[in-house]
Amino acid sequence: MLVYRGELVSGPAALPRLALRDLIHEKIFLGPVSVNDGTVARLINEPTGGLRIDYWKRGTGWIEAPKGSLALADFMPGYMRPVSADLAARLDIPAAELDDSELPPPRHRAKIVGLLKERAWDLAASSVPPGHA
């Protein structure tokens, strides 16, 4: 037996979902949470080790956020909050999507800050002309 996205799955259906769990369900790093102006978003771990920001679009579902619309800083503890049941109902977000909607423990704050610093360093290093140390 397996609990997969809030549903109890057993028998032959459990094996493919167990195999896909690492590819689908466990790649969510954080979210869904409500950030900045009430946008519902989440952070996704990519196989390359990077992060992708997805947001919920009513009638469509999860889509990748356009460049510059959301930043990692929007996911800092204290700036974001869990998705409320009212907001989820207004945006037609299924209850199965809200299973992981808790705020990260304090140790994740350090990881998010580290990712922000690493990204800032990469941006600064890419703007320096070649040959300069």
Digit-coded pLDDT (tens) for 40-85: 999 888 877 788 899 999 888 889 999 888 888 888 877 888 888 8
For 98, what's the count of Cα atoms within 13 Å in the CB-facing half-sphere?
16
Residue 19 lies in a domain: no
| Alpha carbon separation from 2 to 8, 12, 76, 111, 113 (Å, rounded) | 6, 11, 32, 30, 34
Residue 44 lies in a domain: yes
Residue 7 lies in a domain: no
Q: pTM, whole model, 2 decimals?
A: 0.55
Average pLDDT over residues 6-12: 60
- The structural domain count of the chain equals 1
Residue 51 lies in a domain: yes
Residue 3 lies in a domain: no
Domain of residue 93, residue span:
28-127
Residue 15 lies in a domain: no
Residue 16 lies in a domain: no
Q: Say if residues 43 and 25 touch (Cβ distance below 8 Å).
A: no
Residue 21 lies in a domain: no
Instruction: Give the per-residue pLDDT at 55.
Output: 92
Tell me the residue type at 130: P
Report the alpha-carbon distance of residue 51 to residue 43 in Å, rounded.
6
